[in-house]
Chain A
Protein backbone atom coordinates (compact mmCIF):
# COMPACT_ATOMS: atom_id res chain seq x y z
CA UNK A 1 0.00 0.00 0.00
CA UNK A 2 1.23 3.49 -0.88
CA UNK A 3 -0.73 5.18 1.95
CA UNK A 4 -1.37 8.88 1.28
CA UNK A 5 0.24 10.28 -1.86
CA UNK A 6 0.57 14.01 -2.44
CA UNK A 7 1.68 15.70 -5.64
CA UNK A 8 3.57 17.82 -6.41
CA UNK A 9 6.24 17.85 -3.66
CA UNK A 10 7.32 21.40 -4.50
CA UNK A 11 5.62 24.24 -6.39
CA UNK A 12 6.33 27.89 -7.05
CA UNK A 13 3.40 30.05 -8.14
CA UNK A 14 3.04 33.65 -9.11
CA UNK A 15 0.50 35.77 -7.30
CA UNK A 16 -2.92 35.34 -8.89
CA UNK A 17 -2.24 31.94 -10.44
CA UNK A 18 -4.43 28.98 -9.61
CA UNK A 19 -3.44 25.38 -9.07
CA UNK A 20 -4.62 22.08 -7.63
CA UNK A 21 -2.75 20.07 -5.01
CA UNK A 22 -3.47 16.38 -5.43
CA UNK A 23 -4.07 13.88 -2.63
CA UNK A 24 -4.86 10.21 -3.04
CA UNK A 25 -5.12 7.38 -0.52
CA UNK A 26 -5.43 3.64 -1.12
CA UNK A 27 -6.54 2.58 2.37
CA UNK A 28 -10.30 3.02 1.81
CA UNK A 29 -10.37 5.68 4.52
CA UNK A 30 -13.63 7.62 4.63
CA UNK A 31 -12.13 10.70 6.34
CA UNK A 32 -9.72 13.01 4.52
CA UNK A 33 -8.44 16.46 5.39
CA UNK A 34 -6.06 19.22 4.36
CA UNK A 35 -3.79 21.08 6.79
CA UNK A 36 -1.31 23.86 6.30
CA UNK A 37 1.80 24.16 8.42
CA UNK A 38 3.49 27.49 8.99
CA UNK A 39 6.55 28.05 11.22
CA UNK A 40 5.56 28.36 14.86
CA UNK A 41 1.85 27.84 14.16
CA UNK A 42 1.44 24.09 14.15
CA UNK A 43 -1.05 22.56 11.74
CA UNK A 44 -4.25 24.37 10.84
CA UNK A 45 -7.21 22.62 9.25
CA UNK A 46 -8.31 24.00 5.87
CA UNK A 47 -11.07 21.62 4.73
CA UNK A 48 -12.13 18.10 5.53
CA UNK A 49 -14.42 15.37 4.23
CA UNK A 50 -16.16 12.53 6.07
CA UNK A 51 -16.99 10.67 2.87
CA UNK A 52 -17.45 10.92 -0.88
CA UNK A 53 -19.69 13.84 -1.78
CA UNK A 54 -19.36 15.49 1.64
CA UNK A 55 -16.97 18.35 2.47
CA UNK A 56 -16.80 20.94 5.21
CA UNK A 57 -14.73 23.94 6.20
CA UNK A 58 -11.99 23.89 8.80
CA UNK A 59 -10.29 26.77 10.63
CA UNK A 60 -8.75 28.54 7.62
CA UNK A 61 -10.83 27.77 4.48
CA UNK A 62 -10.66 31.15 2.71
CA UNK A 63 -8.95 31.03 -0.67
CA UNK A 64 -9.26 27.25 -0.99
CA UNK A 65 -11.81 24.88 -2.53
CA UNK A 66 -12.16 21.13 -2.24
CA UNK A 67 -14.29 18.36 -3.69
CA UNK A 68 -14.62 14.67 -2.92
CA UNK A 69 -16.02 12.78 -5.87
CA UNK A 70 -14.39 9.47 -4.89
CA UNK A 71 -13.27 7.87 -1.63
CA UNK A 72 -9.66 7.85 -2.84
CA UNK A 73 -9.11 11.44 -3.98
CA UNK A 74 -9.35 14.80 -2.20
CA UNK A 75 -7.83 17.62 -4.29
CA UNK A 76 -7.24 21.10 -2.87
CA UNK A 77 -7.65 24.05 -5.24
CA UNK A 78 -6.05 27.42 -4.76
CA UNK A 79 -8.27 29.86 -6.63
CA UNK A 80 -5.97 32.89 -6.87
CA UNK A 81 -2.66 32.36 -5.08
CA UNK A 82 -1.45 34.97 -2.61
CA UNK A 83 1.92 35.23 -0.80
CA UNK A 84 0.07 34.49 2.47
CA UNK A 85 -0.60 31.00 1.11
CA UNK A 86 3.11 30.18 1.09
CA UNK A 87 3.21 27.15 3.36
CA UNK A 88 3.64 23.41 3.60
CA UNK A 89 0.40 21.58 2.86
CA UNK A 90 -0.38 18.16 4.29
CA UNK A 91 -3.16 15.82 3.35
CA UNK A 92 -4.26 13.28 5.97
CA UNK A 93 -6.74 10.41 6.08
CA UNK A 94 -8.36 8.28 8.74
CA UNK A 95 -11.11 5.74 9.36
CA UNK A 96 -13.78 5.40 11.98
CA UNK A 97 -14.04 2.51 14.40
CA UNK A 98 -15.83 2.03 17.71
CA UNK A 99 -17.20 5.57 17.58
CA UNK A 100 -13.85 7.30 17.13
CA UNK A 101 -11.63 8.23 14.22
CA UNK A 102 -8.26 6.56 14.52
CA UNK A 103 -4.91 8.26 14.10
CA UNK A 104 -4.32 10.15 10.90
CA UNK A 105 -2.01 8.97 8.14
CA UNK A 106 -0.28 11.98 6.60
CA UNK A 107 1.13 12.42 3.14
CA UNK A 108 4.69 13.68 2.70
CA UNK A 109 3.51 17.24 2.01
CA UNK A 110 3.61 19.87 -0.73
CA UNK A 111 5.92 22.83 -0.18
CA UNK A 112 4.28 25.82 -1.90
CA UNK A 113 5.88 29.21 -2.47
CA UNK A 114 3.87 32.11 -3.87
CA UNK A 115 5.93 34.99 -5.26
Chain B
Protein backbone atom coordinates (compact mmCIF):
# COMPACT_ATOMS: atom_id res chain seq x y z
CA UNK B 1 0.00 0.00 0.00
CA UNK B 2 0.91 3.64 -0.10
CA UNK B 3 3.64 4.73 2.31
CA UNK B 4 4.52 8.25 3.34
CA UNK B 5 7.88 8.78 5.04
CA UNK B 6 8.87 11.93 6.88
CA UNK B 7 12.29 13.08 8.04
CA UNK B 8 13.67 13.99 10.46
CA UNK B 9 11.68 12.46 13.32
CA UNK B 10 12.91 15.12 15.75
CA UNK B 11 14.54 18.51 15.40
CA UNK B 12 15.88 20.79 18.12
CA UNK B 13 16.57 24.36 17.02
CA UNK B 14 17.52 27.59 18.70
CA UNK B 15 14.85 30.25 18.45
CA UNK B 16 15.52 32.26 15.29
CA UNK B 17 17.01 29.34 13.34
CA UNK B 18 15.32 27.88 10.28
CA UNK B 19 13.64 24.47 10.18
CA UNK B 20 12.76 22.09 7.35
CA UNK B 21 10.87 18.80 7.30
CA UNK B 22 10.72 16.52 4.27
CA UNK B 23 8.02 14.15 3.11
CA UNK B 24 8.38 11.33 0.56
CA UNK B 25 5.69 9.07 -0.88
CA UNK B 26 6.13 5.62 -2.38
CA UNK B 27 3.48 6.49 -5.00
CA UNK B 28 2.49 9.54 -7.01
CA UNK B 29 0.06 11.71 -5.08
CA UNK B 30 -2.98 13.63 -6.27
CA UNK B 31 -2.43 16.14 -3.48
CA UNK B 32 -0.62 16.57 -0.19
CA UNK B 33 -1.72 18.23 3.02
CA UNK B 34 0.22 19.52 6.02
CA UNK B 35 -0.96 19.56 9.62
CA UNK B 36 0.41 20.84 12.94
CA UNK B 37 -0.25 19.17 16.26
CA UNK B 38 0.63 20.95 19.48
CA UNK B 39 1.64 18.77 22.46
CA UNK B 40 -1.50 17.21 23.91
CA UNK B 41 -3.65 18.59 21.11
CA UNK B 42 -5.19 17.43 17.88
CA UNK B 43 -3.91 17.88 14.31
CA UNK B 44 -4.81 21.20 12.75
CA UNK B 45 -4.90 21.62 8.97
CA UNK B 46 -2.34 24.07 7.58
CA UNK B 47 -2.44 23.80 3.79
CA UNK B 48 -3.09 21.62 0.74
CA UNK B 49 -0.90 21.44 -2.36
CA UNK B 50 -2.32 20.06 -5.59
CA UNK B 51 -0.20 21.09 -8.57
CA UNK B 52 3.19 19.73 -9.59
CA UNK B 53 5.95 22.10 -8.43
CA UNK B 54 3.53 24.20 -6.39
CA UNK B 55 4.92 26.57 -3.76
CA UNK B 56 2.72 28.25 -1.15
CA UNK B 57 3.60 30.59 1.70
CA UNK B 58 1.92 31.34 4.99
CA UNK B 59 3.88 34.08 6.76
CA UNK B 60 7.13 32.35 7.83
CA UNK B 61 6.06 28.92 6.49
CA UNK B 62 6.88 27.82 2.92
CA UNK B 63 5.38 24.64 1.48
CA UNK B 64 6.58 22.92 -1.69
CA UNK B 65 5.21 20.05 -3.76
CA UNK B 66 7.73 18.23 -5.94
CA UNK B 67 7.62 18.15 -9.71
CA UNK B 68 6.92 14.40 -9.71
CA UNK B 69 4.24 14.83 -6.99
CA UNK B 70 5.98 12.27 -4.78
CA UNK B 71 7.69 14.58 -2.30
CA UNK B 72 7.03 17.74 -0.37
CA UNK B 73 8.69 19.99 2.17
CA UNK B 74 7.78 22.49 4.86
CA UNK B 75 10.28 25.23 5.70
CA UNK B 76 9.92 27.58 8.66
CA UNK B 77 12.03 30.73 8.63
CA UNK B 78 13.26 32.17 11.94
CA UNK B 79 11.49 29.77 14.27
CA UNK B 80 9.62 31.02 17.32
CA UNK B 81 8.60 29.18 20.49
CA UNK B 82 5.03 29.20 19.18
CA UNK B 83 6.17 26.90 16.33
CA UNK B 84 6.70 24.03 18.79
CA UNK B 85 4.74 20.91 17.88
CA UNK B 86 4.68 17.97 15.50
CA UNK B 87 4.28 18.63 11.79
CA UNK B 88 2.63 15.95 9.67
CA UNK B 89 2.38 15.60 5.95
CA UNK B 90 -0.50 13.53 4.55
CA UNK B 91 -0.72 12.28 1.00
CA UNK B 92 -3.72 11.27 -1.03
CA UNK B 93 -3.52 9.04 -4.09
CA UNK B 94 -6.40 8.55 -6.53
CA UNK B 95 -8.62 7.03 -3.84
CA UNK B 96 -10.33 8.38 -0.75
CA UNK B 97 -7.65 7.52 1.77
CA UNK B 98 -5.31 10.10 3.27
CA UNK B 99 -2.06 8.53 4.50
CA UNK B 100 -0.10 10.38 7.15
CA UNK B 101 3.64 10.49 7.53
CA UNK B 102 5.17 9.74 10.92
CA UNK B 103 5.60 13.42 11.72
CA UNK B 104 8.53 15.66 12.66
CA UNK B 105 8.59 16.90 16.21
CA UNK B 106 9.99 20.43 16.43
CA UNK B 107 11.43 21.72 19.68
CA UNK B 108 12.55 25.34 19.94
CA UNK B 109 14.97 26.58 22.60
CA UNK B 110 14.34 30.19 23.61
Identify the A interface with B (CB < 8 A).
Answer: 31, 33, 35, 40-45, 48, 50, 56, 58-59, 90, 92, 100-109
Determine the residue in chain B with the shortest Cβ distance to A41.
Answer: B102
Please, how many angstroms separate the alpha-carbon atoms of A22 and B30 in the complex?
Answer: 31
CB-defined contacts of A103 to chain B, threshold 8 Å: 33, 35, 45-48
Q: Which of B9, B48, B97 has the most A CB atoms < 10 Å from its CB?
A: B97
Identify the B interface with A (CB < 8 A).
Answer: 1, 6, 9, 30-31, 33, 35, 41-48, 50, 88, 90, 92, 96-103
CB-defined contacts of B97 to chain A, threshold 8 Å: 45, 48, 58-59
CB-defined contacts of B92 to chain A, threshold 8 Å: 100-101
Question: Known contacts being A42-B103, A45-B97, A101-B92, is A106 close to B30, with CB within 8 Å?
Answer: no
- Of the residues B45, B48, B99, contact of A45 by C-beta under 8 Å: B99
Contacts A42-B88, A45-B97, A107-B42 supplied; 9 other A-B pairs, CB < 8 Å: A42-B6, A43-B100, A45-B98, A100-B31, A101-B96, A103-B47, A104-B35, A104-B98, A105-B45
CB-defined contacts of A42 to chain B, threshold 8 Å: 6, 88, 100-103
Please, how many angstroms separate the alpha-carbon atoms of A35 and B110 in the complex?
Answer: 33
A40 touches B102 (CB 8 A): yes
CB-defined contacts of B1 to chain A, threshold 8 Å: 59
B96 touches A43 (CB 8 A): no
CB-defined contacts of A107 to chain B, threshold 8 Å: 42
